[in-house]
Amino acid sequence: MSGSLAAFRNQRGDELRKLAEEHLQHDLNQSDRDTLKSAGSKVSTHATIGSLLGLGFGVYFAFRLRTMRLAYFRAFRAAEKPVEVRFADGRTEAVPDITQQLAPSKWGDAATYFFFSLGGLFFGGEVGFLTGTASASNTITRDPESRARIETAFKNYRIDVMKREIQSLEGKSGGPFDITFDARGILTWAQEDIIVHVSSQHFAVSFSLAFHFLLYISICCSHIFRTSERSKAQFHRANIHIMLLQILWLAAVAVAQESSQQVIETLTGSNRRLTGDDATPTLHLSDFSASIIATGTMSGVSTSTGAINATASMSSSENPYTQLVGASRTTAVNGTMTASTTTAAPVNTQPCNNYPEFCTRRYSNITEVCAHNSPFVVKNNAGSNQALPVLQQLNDGVRMLQGQAHIVNGTLYYCHTSCDLLNAGTVEDYLTTVTQWVAAHPFDVITIIFGNADYEQTGSDGKPLVTSSNFVAPIEASGLKQYIYQPPKTAMTLEDWPTLGELIISGKRVITFIDYNFDTTAVPYMLWEFYNIWETPYSPTNFDFPCTLGRPEGISDEKRDGMMYIANHNLNVEVSIAGASLLIPNTVELNVTNGLNGTGSLGLMSNQCTVDHGRPPNFLLVDYYNIGSFNGSVFEVAAQANNVTYNRKCCGTESLACVLAKPTVTYLGLVVAVVVAMIL
Average pLDDT, the chain: 73
Helix (H) / strand (E) containing 447? strand 446-452
List helix spans (H) across 275-425: 390-396
Same domain, 606 and 488: yes
What percent of the chain is modeled with pLDDT above 90?
Answer: 34
Pick the catalytic residue: 46, 212, 416, 441? 416
* Contact residues for 391 (Cβ-Cβ < 8 A; gap 6+): 433, 437
* Contact residues for 512 (Cβ-Cβ < 8 A; gap 6+): 447, 448, 449, 450, 475, 484, 525, 526, 527
Question: Is residue 481 assigned to a domain?
Answer: yes
Question: Is residue 170 assigned to a domain?
Answer: yes
Same domain, 111 and 135: yes
Same domain, 137 and 14: yes
pLDDT at 360: 94
Residue 372 annotated in active site? yes
Rounded CA separation 399/510 (Å): 10
Same domain, 142 and 201: yes
Least confident piece of the model among 54-58, 78-82, 478-482: 78-82
Question: Is residue 343 assigned to a domain?
Answer: no
* pLDDT band with cut points at 50, 70 and 90 for residue 563: very high
Same domain, 107 and 164: yes
Same domain, 521 and 415: yes
Chain CA centroid to CA 651, Å: 7
Same domain, 152 and 222: yes
Same domain, 235 and 374: no
Question: Is residue 309 assigned to a domain?
Answer: no
Same domain, 375 and 508: yes
**Residue numbers of the domain that contains 508:** 350-649
CATH code for the domain in which residue 425 is found: 3.20.20.190
Q: Are 640 and 262 in contact (CB under 8 A)?
A: no
Least confident piece of the model among 20-34, 39-53, 513-527, 624-638: 20-34
* pLDDT band with cut points at 50, 70 and 90 for residue 649: confident
Question: Is residue 298 assigned to a domain?
Answer: no
Residue 416 annotated in active site? yes
Strand 423-426 to 411-415 pairing: antiparallel
Same domain, 151 and 71: yes
Question: Is residue 462 assigned to a domain?
Answer: yes
Same domain, 254 and 398: no
List helix spans (H) across 402-547: 427-440, 472-478, 500-506, 529-532
Taking only the tens place, the pLDDT of each residue in 544-561 is 899 999 999 889 999 999
Least confident piece of the model among 153-167, 324-338, 635-649: 324-338
Pick the catalytic residue: 46, 241, 372, 406? 372
Question: Is residue 194 assigned to a domain?
Answer: yes
| CB neighbour class for 343 (10 Å; exposed up to 12, middle 13-18, buried from 19) | middle
Give how many domains the chain has, as a whole number.
2
Question: Is residue 657 assigned to a domain?
Answer: no
Taking only the tens place, the pLDDT of each residue in 213-244 is 444 444 444 444 444 444 444 444 444 444 44
Same domain, 253 and 375: no
Q: Tell me which DSSP letter residue 343 carries.
A: P
